[in-house]
Structure 1
């Protein structure tokens, strides 16, 4: 297996997209046109074999054999869910998990090889992660420039979880859906910058939409933006029709499917948040997938080749 992966240092995501723009009701069959800002439980979980931590700055290496890839992914999934896994090993497992799902998403011919090897306790998480990757990948438009973004460390995970649950208590929108949107939009706030439509902040609101649902808060505040997302989804009838509400947040059927997939993984096992939280920021380019590390900063789009030449692997 060969993966076109140009890497730098750590950081996460799948997609950062323009969110919360008013739109008509979703169509019954075909997905809406969308222009993403892109580049994504058992007793045995208590004592997995923790993977080795990768050296600082090193990128995950995947097995070339899908059978071995499956075994490695299972070990990483178990390590992510084990409270005893030390932080360096947890980071390494999460990063390998992310790259594995990106690879599996691109190789449907592996489904019959890897799928049967996944233990029953992890089948739902595996299926949902693979589907989310494929749904969101279908929205990607490879670019020849890297974005005018800043990549920063996200707010502490415990803090974000507290905000998701607070928003759920106030608005009735499930914490897991808010977390899934936060993951897809900006990798929990790691991406600081505007979408192609002008959306801003950790939950990617258009300023006009945030003015209506932000309750006077700061669009770039994790808490204020998460609370606003809860209000927005609730106002769009999330309780009765979550698909419609999520579609209103971002007008693509693939986006709705991706959010629901990640939300289902989190609902089934909240410990899976530990892996998602440590994912890197990937940007899909015509030269392959580029990892944008914490510390990346460009105030204007930069040609991919120019950036890679000055930031060798």
Structure 2
């Protein structure tokens, strides 16, 4: 029987699952209520700053969007303070929409880093208010579930991908909810699957198993009666509705974990998707943060950020990529004075 997305080397392993093999350079981030006069020059926001002060330092290479790779504070208390500000802003309907993308990327990198640092993660969690500890737990558990799926050396090449701007938040949300109404599969689950498969459509390319489109369908599965329904495998609306129908076919209405197992034969995959779905179910505004997460590829040189607009028609050696896009590499830890 042809199974949907049954393969070892899946895009999910790249976007959210592989280990981060580095520790980024981090600088102290002042508490949000510290007077500006006491702020070290090194943490002054640079290009496209936000009302929440983000850790930075001069000289970092920047992406085409004018931003550098997000840094994570060294101290647990500074990371906790930063995370409180970010998590609060991302679910505040009155927060400036222009700041959400940068805050979301900072949030994403914090959780990616902390998922590899259990002791630091525990220290950060202890300093969060109780209402944010649950949010923290969902993010860390999701990341660690993906990490548990994969072992082995990191890749020395980058795939032949194009990283594109996804369909708008409103268009995707309408598709998730329409598919949920049509099938009974929760929209939050569909959004979570779209996130972990292709970063909500940012990855444009064909996987090693020939899976395609924003929801990563094998053409043979798409062609099954009742799944693709003569739609476009690359169209977000068609693909999201097809994914909902597929989850129903795999038993998702009786047991959503069973449906997700059909999507990817791994309990870790199902757990991770459900952690993100739980975040969306408790607070729907979480969606706009997740929507703005960037594509990271865990390679031999670290957790490389592939910006929107990146394009490669064939696999690229990591060393070649970094010469062209130095902003893609996680900054190295600062040497002691």
TM tier, smaller: 0.7 to 0.9
Partner of 1:161: 173
Tell me how far 1:166 sits from its aligned partner.
Answer: 0.3
Instruction: Give the one of 268, 286, 309 matched to 1:254.
Output: 268
Given that 2:5 and 2:216 are in contact with CA atoms closer than 8 Å, whether structure 1 keeps it comes out as no
Q: CA RMSD in A?
A: 1.9
Partner of 1:187: 199
For 1:130-149, what aligned pairs fall within 5 Å after superposition? 130-140=140-150, 142-149=154-161
Instruction: Give the one of 116, 119, 140 matched to 1:106.
Output: 116
CA radius of gyration, larger in? 2
Q: List 4+ stretches of structure 1 deviating above 3 A.
A: 52-55
The CA deviation string for residues 216-268 of structure 1, in whole angstroms up to 9 with x for no partner, is 10000000000000000011111111111101101112111110110000001
Q: Quick check: 301-310 or 82-91, which moved more?
A: 82-91
Work out whether 1:35 is the aligned partner of 2:9. yes
Q: d(CA) in 2 for partners of 1:243 and 1:220?
A: 25
Q: d(CA) in 2 for partners of 1:255 and 1:133?
A: 10
Q: Per the alignment, in what secondary structure is the counterpart of residue 283 of structure 1?
A: strand
Partner of 1:7: none
Tell me how far 1:120 sits from its aligned partner.
Answer: 2.4
Partner of 2:52: 51
User: TM-score, normalized by length of structure 1?
Assistant: 0.84
For 1:111-126, what aligned pairs fall within 5 Å after superposition? 111-126=121-136
Q: d(CA) in 2 for partners of 1:226 and 1:152?
A: 18
For 1:1-313, what aligned pairs fall within 5 Å after superposition? 20-21=4-5, 34-37=8-11, 38-39=13-14, 40=16, 50-52=51-53, 56-140=66-150, 142-212=154-224, 213-313=227-327
User: TM-score, normalized by length of structure 2?
Assistant: 0.78
Where do 5+ consecutive residues of structure 2 fail to align? 17-32, 34-49, 57-64, 328-337
Tell me how far 1:20 sits from its aligned partner.
Answer: 1.6
Greater relative CO, 1 or 2 (CA 8 Å, sep 6+): 1
Q: d(CA) in 2 for partners of 1:171 and 1:184?
A: 21
Partner of 1:30: none
Given that 1:20 and 1:249 are in contact with CA atoms closer than 8 Å, whether structure 2 keeps it comes out as yes
Q: d(CA) in 2 for partners of 1:307 and 1:59?
A: 15
Q: Per the alignment, in what secondary structure is the counterpart of residue 222 of structure 2?
A: helix
Given that 1:51 and 1:92 are in contact with CA atoms closer than 8 Å, whether structure 2 keeps it comes out as no
Partner of 1:9: none
Q: d(CA) in 1 for partners of 2:125 and 2:207?
A: 36
Tell me how far 1:50 sits from its aligned partner.
Answer: 4.4
Q: d(CA) in 2 for partners of 1:86 and 1:243?
A: 36
Where do 5+ consecutive residues of structure 1 fail to align? 1-18, 23-32, 41-47
